[in-house]
Amino acid sequence: TVSYNADGNPLNERLAYVGQDLFASGQAMGQKILSLVKPGGKIAIFIATPGSGNIQPRVDGAKAVIGNKLTIDVVATGAAIAQEASTIDSYYQGHKSINGLFAVDGGSTWYTGVTSKKYGLHAKGIASGGFDLQPGTLDAISSGDMDFTIDQQPYQQGFLPIFYLWLYKLSGGLQSPSTTNTGLKFVTSANIAGYRSPSYFEGAPKTK
């Protein structure tokens, strides 16, 4: 087997892992947050399911970088979309002096953007950002309601495990799958246009 997106137990019998260095991606987010929020401020980091192998390391990485420079509330939003939306909205309603709202999973990031737009948070100086490429997240960046999201290269994560296993089987096990760090890219207003282009997504014109 080849694991992708999350690698909860690197010592298991999988042949390789294809995905982000999750802790390092959290560290990168932490550095980005520090560039957006002044020292002494307070932020929230939303996480759908605390302890999950593919998102908890991002929280841990961000906290390791931020240290005591900011006060951090880590808020569980739940795995259901409706619960994520209501939790993030309610959190802001109860913490209007917050300086930043951030998330480490796709759903929570999406609804962080929705909350930012709903209450005009960017105009109030409240920063926001997170992970993944949900259309609503890209909309929020395009409209200026979210500062960033992190692209973890999901297309590589979907394609490479299949390709590696095909080569492994074709070669009778001689071509072993390679552990691959798919890295990260910050998506901001500076490069959002490329992500909105039809050629980037599944709606791209098909070649013959």
Element (H, E) at 183: none
Q: Report pLDDT for 207.
A: 40
Q: Report pLDDT for 203.
A: 46
Query: Is 161 within 8 Å of 18 (Cβ atoms)?
Result: yes
In terms of Cα–Cα distance, which of 24, 31, 46, 166 is closest to 101? 46
Alpha carbons 30 and 87: distance in angstroms, whole number: 22
Q: Report pLDDT for 204.
A: 44
Alpha carbons 59 and 14: distance in angstroms, whole number: 25
Query: Is 69 within 8 Å of 41 (Cβ atoms)?
Result: no
Alpha carbons 185 and 44: distance in angstroms, whole number: 22
Instruction: Quote the pTM value.
Output: 0.90
Task: Indicate the residue type of 189.
Answer: S
Q: Report pLDDT for 8.
A: 60
Tens of pLDDT along the chain (208 residues) come to 888 888 766 566 788 999 999 999 999 999 999 999 999 999 999 999 999 988 999 999 999 999 999 999 999 999 888 899 999 999 999 999 999 999 999 999 999 999 999 999 999 999 999 999 999 999 999 999 999 999 999 999 999 999 999 999 999 999 999 999 999 999 999 999 998 876 555 544 444 3
Alpha carbons 195 and 151: distance in angstroms, whole number: 10
